[in-house]
Amino acid sequence: MITDLLAPPVSAFEVFGDPDTVVLFPEEEEHIARSVDKRKKEFTTGRHCARTALAALGYPPVPLLPGPKREPSWPAGVVGSITHCKGYRAAAVGRTSDVWTIGIDAEPNEPTPSGVLEAIAVPGELARMGELRASGDKVAWDRLLFSAKESVYKAWFPLARTWLGFEDAEVAINPDDGTFTARILVEAPVVDGVALDGFTGRWLAREGFVVTAIAVPAR
Ligand SMILES: CC(C)(COP(=O)(O)OP(=O)(O)OC[C@H]1O[C@@H](n2cnc3c(N)ncnc32)[C@H](O)[C@@H]1OP(=O)(O)O)[C@@H](O)C(=O)NCCC(=O)NCCS
């Protein structure tokens, strides 16, 4: 699924379970040692996906530790993103010479619990929800909106290095062509001479999941 959303020069890899043969580096083991089993599994398989995606770009296996805000730390010259939800794990990476930033997210294709949509959506997104629901009932549009906003945050954070709340971006999902756009509603930081004021991304709903992905080409 993820390779339907992200094409070379981005390298992406996904799995639908947790292989029991994956070995972590000692410092990764140390990081995750006191976590519950579910967390250990998603962290471990996420690293497996990331190292597999990196290998396709020619990078040898290295420890991928979380940074201060939980963002994955990549080898020099690499950007990337990791996602996991029940039954699905994926990672996507690219060389900084090709890609400015990446954000990916996967969620079950199921409606969000009561109250979540109101908590994460800005008025323009709420207004478009009826139109999205009228376009078809095979996609949990509220969950897709949530996923797109998480992808926005994962693409935003490594560049901006600041928090971006759900109320700080407005996402417009195109129900017909599998794309979405995000408009940043707070003052856009200028990174590498470019205002970080929005993103475009792609989405799909398949095999019980909604998956969203942003990969911004390097300038
Ligand atoms: C960080 C966040 C997006 C992760 O979402 P999640 O529900 O845990 O979803 P996933 O399982 O898909 O993703 C987890 C992965 O995200 C990555 N991640 C975590 N924090 C990150 C950050 N600050 N920047 C980039 N990636 C980050 C990590 O790789 C993590 O996996 P790992 O800990 O095993 O390495 C979420 O917890 C969060 O804080 N959301 C609030 C911010 C937000 O979404 N704002 C919306 C702006 S419109």
Distance 144 CA to ligand 1 centre (A): 15
pLDDT tens per residue, range 121-145: 999 999 999 999 999 999 999 999 9
To the nearest whole number, what is the mean pLDDT of the chain? 97
Identity of the amino acid at 218: A
Which atom, in ligand 1's list, is nearest to the CA of 43? 34
| Nearest alpha-carbon partner for 112 in 73, 147, 156, 70 | 147
Distances (CA, A) of 76 to 46, 64, 96: 19, 12, 9
Asked if residues 59 and 26 have their Cβ atoms less than 8 Å apart, the reply is no
| Nearest alpha-carbon partner for 74 in 97, 55, 50 | 50
The two structure tokens encoding residue 119:
């908590």
How much is the pLDDT for 219? 85
Closest C-alpha to ligand 1, atom 37: 150
CB-based contacts of 73, cutoff 8 Å, min separation 6: 64, 65, 66, 67
For the Cβ of 212 lying below 6 angstroms from any atom of ligand 1, the answer is no
Domain interval for residue 76: 1-219
CATH of the domain at 29: 3.90.470.20
Count of the separate structural domains present in the chain: 1
For the Cβ of 46 lying below 6 angstroms from any atom of ligand 1, the answer is yes
Which atom, in ligand 1's list, is nearest to the CA of 42? 34
